[in-house]
Amino acid sequence: GDSVTQMEGPVTLSEEAFLTINCTYTATGYPSLFWYVQYPGEGLQLLLKATKADDKGSNKGFEATYRKETTSFHLEKGSVQVSDSAVYFCALSAGAGGTSYGKLTFGQGTILTVHP
Amino acid sequence: GAGVSQSPSNKVTEKGKDVELRCDPISGHTALYWYRQSLGQGLEFLIYFQGNSAPDKSGLPSDRFSAERTGGSVSTLTIQRTQQEDSAVYLCASSLEVLVSYEQYFGPGTRLTVT
């Protein structure tokens, strides 16, 4: 079935450091890919998405590019802030015919802590 | 506008009791989803509704779990004869339709603790 593999955490960085969180996926069909973020004490919210190969999703300085050839959707940010401390989830939703159609399949989540 | 709301926010119950969790989706959203977040299993899909029908119940962990949606709006997730392994945060989400590109908006969750 469809699955998402996310880099193990936790990740601890100093403010203004470069961030990469790796995400790879397995899916049939043509999935859409998402990064969700969960700030402390808050609910899940969409950070960015990409719906087809080579699309780049971006928001709040974060970027991720849908790479079909490597089945990856790595999250990057050039300069992290303390306020970026949160749990980040990579997810996919497959197209018709995929086992994840109509639902999100999530990675395990990566805890990011940014120190001043 | 109002987001997805869930009630109760916290529920503590004794093993063997039944519980009902409620979800109010964003007005006008035809698709509604239930997920579970637990330390051991991460975020896992339980069930989704398109309107009042549930085309995919494959994620429900056992026949103790059931869900319904009425009037294309409010949904209730019922867990019968609760077990300690049911302890988790139950998340509800809604989207305009069940299409891969539509964003799912999540509620704050119900934290269920089975003692």
Residues contacting residue A114 through CB under 8 Å, at least 6 positions apart: A12, A13, A14, A15, A17, A80, A81, A82, A83, A84, A85
Residues of chain B scoring pLDDT < 70: 1, 99-101
- Reduce the DSSP state of residue A84 to 3 states and report it: helix
Q: How confident is the model at residue A42 (pLDDT cuts 50, 70, 90)?
A: confident
**How far does the CA of residue B42 sit from the closest CA of chain A (Å)?**
5
CA distances B9 to A65, B5, B21, Å, are 36, 9, 9
**Which residues is A1 bridged to in the sheet?**
none
Q: Shortest CB distance from A102 goes to which of B56, B103, B108?
A: B56
DSSP string of A15-28, one letter each residue: TT--EEE-EEEE-S
The pLDDT of residue A115 is above 90: yes
**How far does the CA of residue B103 sit from the closest CA of chain A (Å)?**
7
Q: Mean of the pLDDT values across residues A17-30? A: 92
Cβ–Cβ of A51/B107 closer than 8 Å?
no
